Amino acid sequence: MPIITFGVLFSALASLTYALYHNDITPKNFDTLLDPAKASIMVEFYAPWCGHCKKLAPEYEKLGETFAYTKDVVIAQVDADAHKSLGDRFKVQGFPTLKWIQKGSSFDKAEDINVRRTAPELLKFVNEKTGLSKELKGSEDRTLELTPANFEEVTQSSDHHTLVIFFEPNNRASDAALLVWKRLAFLYSDDKEVVIAKLDSDKFAHLTEQQGVSSYPSIKYYKKQGAEKYEGETTIEALVDYVNMKTGLEVSSDDGVIPSAGTIPEIAEHIRSYIEARTQEDRQKVVDACRTTVETLDARAKENFDYYSKVFSRIAEKGEEYIIKERARLEKLLDDAESMQRIYRRKFMKRMNVLHDFSKTEL
């Protein structure tokens, strides 16, 4: 049996990050998410209370959505009022301030962007700097607006999970949280089992009081069985982790999937046994053992097992080289992630995760 190593596969998987629009950069994740060695970067430093920043917000978001799957460009935002150290690092003296870091350059060579603060002009700037020819995309708010008329119907449904932000207009903390909330709604907009909603607590004060909310912003999780107050951070990473925990979904904050998405840890030990089996009869015994294990797990694991079964069958038919060829095929498809529907992009990413499970075994 030939020996095939998969070190390259892991590094390829690690680079599969496609949604390069980050609207909640903090000192903790700045140098992790932003790397000028890999991409050109535009950063907006804003303050939630700033009128000019609020005017720029929808324009900048259109720009972010336009470059969401362009791996050579990152569009980012920093709340420099909350994270003054980042503003100081880039010598920000007013809001909004836009900085550009060319790919291959460094943060200490960031340059000021002095074009008109409209999406078309900013797009023109990026295209000229990068040699790209992108066209502007719109940005739609996928958040469901709640009122007394639909609140109970939405939050007490047994068909979906609901996360509600109670906000106060012209409240600095609320304004900052709503930017993240809009991104959260976008990430789960294709998942019917999740509703990301908002309620204007100034307009619907009585309903807000009935829900036990007295400070803003406040976030509550609803399912027919009851409600729970969210006590975590209002970062996109923390909120995505929370939604995934409550729903069993496997979305990542960069609009992909988490590294374990699509995999079944409970059958990982069986993969080596399958590879090492010398006869088709022995391999079938391994597949049967996997099925027995999966039958004790939840519906999502059973659904995920379909692809494991396919991989098992293809290895039996075509040999271990199938893993290499399938990986290359998926990588090629994902290279064109920008034009791919989200449902297929996430499905292919999950399949790459499964192939990574097989890569842990020397074939």
Q: What residues form DSSP beta bridges with 198?
A: 145, 165
pLDDT for residue 139? 67
CATH of 265-359, picked from 1.20.1150.12, 3.30.10.20, 3.40.190.10, 1.10.150.120, is 1.20.1150.12
* Location of each CATH 1.20.1150.12 domain in the chain: 265-359
Fold designation for 19-130: Glutaredoxin (3.40.30)
- The burial of 306, by beta-carbon neighbours within 10 Å (0-12 exposed, 13-18 middle, 19 or more buried), is given as exposed
User: Would you state the structure tokens that stand for residue 27, as one six-digit string?
Assistant: 């000192």
Residue with tokens 């720009």: 63
* Three-state DSSP state, 176: helix
* pLDDT band, residue 7 (cuts 50/70/90): very low
User: Would you state the structure tokens that stand for residue 56, as one six-digit string?
Assistant: 């720029």
Per-residue pLDDT tens digits for 99-135: 999 999 999 999 999 999 999 999 999 999 999 888 8
Among candidates 148, 280, 294, which has minimal Cα distance to 208? Answer: 148
Buried b (16+ CB within 10 A) or exposed e, 15-48: ebebbbbbbbbbeeebeebbebeebbbbbbbbbb
Fold designation for 144-247: Glutaredoxin (3.40.30)
Q: Is the dihedral of CA 13, 15, 20, 25 positive or negative?
A: positive
pLDDT for residue 361? 59
Angle between helices 342-359 and 321-334 (to 10 degrees): 150
- Name the CA dihedral angle for 166, 172, 176, 177, rounded to a multiple of 10 degrees: -20
Look up residue 257 and give its DSSP letter: B
Mean pLDDT is lowest, of 117-131, 193-207, 315-329, 335-349, for 335-349
Which residues does 231 contact at the CB level (< 8 Å), separation at least 6? none
Residue 346 Cα to chain centre, angstroms: 10
Q: Which carries the bigger pLDDT value, residue 293 or residue 139?
A: 293
Among candidates 228, 223, 144, which has minimal Cα distance to 186? Answer: 144
Rounded CA-CA distance 290/255 in Å is 30
Per-residue pLDDT tens digits for 40-74: 999 999 998 999 999 998 899 889 888 877 888 99
- The burial of 202, by beta-carbon neighbours within 10 Å (0-12 exposed, 13-18 middle, 19 or more buried), is given as middle
pLDDT for residue 112? 96
What is the value of pTM for the model shown?
0.73
Per-residue pLDDT tens digits for 343-358: 899 999 999 999 988 8
Residue at 119: amino acid letter: A
In the 3-class helix/strand/coil scheme, how is 101-143 assigned residue by residue?
A: ECCCCCHHHCEECCCCCCHHHHHHHHHHHHCCCCCCCCCCCCC
Rounded CA-CA distance 195/153 in Å is 12
* pLDDT band, residue 3 (cuts 50/70/90): very low
* Location of each CATH 3.40.30.10 domain in the chain: 19-130, 144-247
Per-residue pLDDT tens digits for 158-200: 999 999 999 999 888 998 899 889 989 999 999 999 999 999 9
Which residues does 245 contact at the CB level (< 8 Å), separation at least 6? none
Rounded CA-CA distance 286/357 in Å is 16
